[in-house]
Amino acid sequence: MFAPDSLPEPLTAVLAQVRDWTSADAHTTLAGDTAQVRAGWVTGLQQLADAVAAATLTAVAAFDAAGDGQTLHGAASTPAWLRGACRITGAEASERVRIARRARDLLADPVDHVRDGMLTYEHLRAVERGVRHLPPDQQQRAVDLLTDLAQVAPVGDVRTAGKHLQHVIDPDGALADTCQQFDRRHLTLAPLMDGMTAMDGLLDAESAALLTAALAPFLVPADQDDTRTAAQRRADGLVQIVQTATDHALLPIVGGERPHLHVLVDPRAPHRSAGQPCVCGAELADTAPEPDVLPPGRLTHSPGAPAFLHPLAVARLACDAQLTALLLNDQGVVVDLGRTRRLFSPQQRKLLAARDGGCRWVGCDRPPAHTDAHHVASWLDGGTTDLANALLLCRHHHRAVHENGWTLQITNPSRGTHGPVTVHGPNGQHHTSHPRGP
């Protein structure tokens, strides 16, 4: 890193003064001052920072024009030198040099305004971004327009106006930009060794708006006991959208099958306790098609450690699933494939949707499409797949019952789930839930 032996004389004086103002004493002095004085300090320091930013542009422009980065340290470029010497990111360094190079001609007016305290440095950045992709003969007019706007409008408005200008003045360029952004889209799923999967991606504006709109209903807490963070609700929402598409056979067929989850459970394994199908959990078979089957650029999936499910999660999934018996020989080879049986028929699902109108949890408004049919008495323990033993629960509340210690209790045994059901929480909370119709 470049560390100068000594600073230019005026800078040494200014720096010493600023450092003095921000000492511990200044804190005490300001605390005893009036609101007016404190506000003056806050806005005044902002002006100082902007004036310093404008002065920096002048220094950078002179440094760049003389090729000093190359002379001093053999730097490949001025941005490369700035990145190391000022410890800023490459993008910041490039932008600073770009603005500095135009600070004497194209951007002279806004830079002057930043120095005089009429604009902030953020406004200047917005003006530069708004014009940099325009044809050169249109740039000066656009700078003048945006500079006028910047003096009366917040930075966000200047950015938006810059985008509009680009679409009006240079529609072809704007289209090329949009296409370039679209090409940068990606989604990567990286399985981790602990069984979780890391997700990383980038979406173009239109796709992001679509996803944001689709996730919006899931961002509302399901009820007053819903302690999930917004990020957790967003993750649950995304999975729910995928599950709905899968359940309703909306996804394309790959390898002769629609995408679905395969859970392998050995029914000979001893039951540990009620509602648990096995002692040791179950393996999630990898059902993702080979990457070369997928359209390029759409989704990448790399194999990791095999995913394993807790017995309670297996019980929840089994509540509303298709069961296929596989008869394996001693070597684990399938020798017979039983008939696939759906626990709840599509007809029963429709009747449940009509009766419950969505998730039966008190205060939850998830619609039937976002619910599982839950067996109150587990079918693993002999509970029947009848409407009177079933109710609809959204994924969040289905998980609450199977994995988070909540219980459902039928109030009137002769009516089953057609009548009221009491919901008991692990901390003594309880609510009564009634079928509420479509």
Instruction: By CB under 5 A, name the binding residues for Zn ion.
Output: 222, 319, 359, 361, 364, 366, 374, 394, 397
CA distances from 240 to 62, 163, 191, 220 (A): 57, 35, 20, 14
Least gap, CB of 115 to Zn ion (angstroms)? 58
Q: What sign has the CA pseudo-torsion 314, 317, 321, 322?
A: negative
- Residue number with CB closer to Zn ion (111 or 319): 319
- Residue number with CB closer to Zn ion (233 or 366): 366
- Residue number with CB closer to Zn ion (129 or 355): 355
- Residue number with CB closer to Zn ion (352 or 364): 364
**What tokens does 62 get?**
């002179």
Least gap, CB of 428 to Zn ion (angstroms)? 20
Least gap, CB of 259 to Zn ion (angstroms)? 22
∠ CA 433-385-399, rounded to 5°: 50
In this structure, how many other beta carbons lie within 10 angstroms of the beta carbon of residue 358? Answer: 19
As to burial, measured by CB atoms within 10 angstroms (0-12 exposed, 13-18 middle, 19+ buried), residue 184 is: exposed
Least gap, CB of 263 to Zn ion (angstroms)? 14
Least gap, CB of 139 to Zn ion (angstroms)? 55
Q: What is the rounded CA–CA span in Å between residue 148 and residue 153?
A: 9
Least gap, CB of 161 to Zn ion (angstroms)? 44
Least gap, CB of 320 to Zn ion (angstroms)? 7
- Residue number with CB closer to Zn ion (245 or 362): 362
- Residue number with CB closer to Zn ion (120 or 240): 240
Q: What is the rounded CA–CA span in Å between residue 195 and residue 150?
A: 51
Least gap, CB of 394 to Zn ion (angstroms)? 3
- Residue number with CB closer to Zn ion (142 or 376): 376
- Residue number with CB closer to Zn ion (85 or 364): 364
